[in-house]
Amino acid sequence: MAEDSKSRTGSAGRFGARYGRVARKRISEIEANMNENHTCPDCGSNSVDRKGTGIWACGRCDYKFAGGTYRPETPAGATVKRSIRAALADEE
């Protein structure tokens, strides 16, 4: 019985019955997303790993950069990058 419930909860199975279903599900989704393969902005390989809170490094080219806590690029950062690119295009 314990093995079946752990396979459904993913990484949040370590919390057992504590903290509620929704909180455990959110943690499981965040951690699964954090552990996915991420693309390096410098060399383009899928070998970016989280080194610390907001610190990401490529395992292939050793490029280190700051990003979000759980994702290398945050949605707000992507929006800012798009608006900067659009502003630079308007100047030309």
- Among residues 30, 31, 24, the alpha carbon closest in space to that of 9 is found at 24
Distance CA 11, CA 86 (A): 40
For residue 66 the two structure tokens come to 């700051």
**Mean local confidence (pLDDT), 58-85:** 92
In the annotated binding site for Zn(2+), the residues are: 40, 43, 58, 61
φ/ψ of residue 26, rounded to 5:
-65, -45
**Mean local confidence (pLDDT), 76-82:** 92
- Write the pLDDT tens digit of every residue in 27-60: 999 999 999 999 999 999 999 999 999 999 999 9
Question: What is the pLDDT at residue 57?
Answer: 96
Question: Band of the pLDDT at 2, cuts 50, 70, 90?
Answer: low
Is pLDDT of 8 > 90? no
**Mean local confidence (pLDDT), 73-79:** 91
In the annotated binding site, the residues are: 40, 43, 58, 61
Question: Band of the pLDDT at 10, cuts 50, 70, 90?
Answer: confident
In the three-class reduction of DSSP (H, G, I as helix; E, B as strand; rest coil), residue 78 is classed as helix
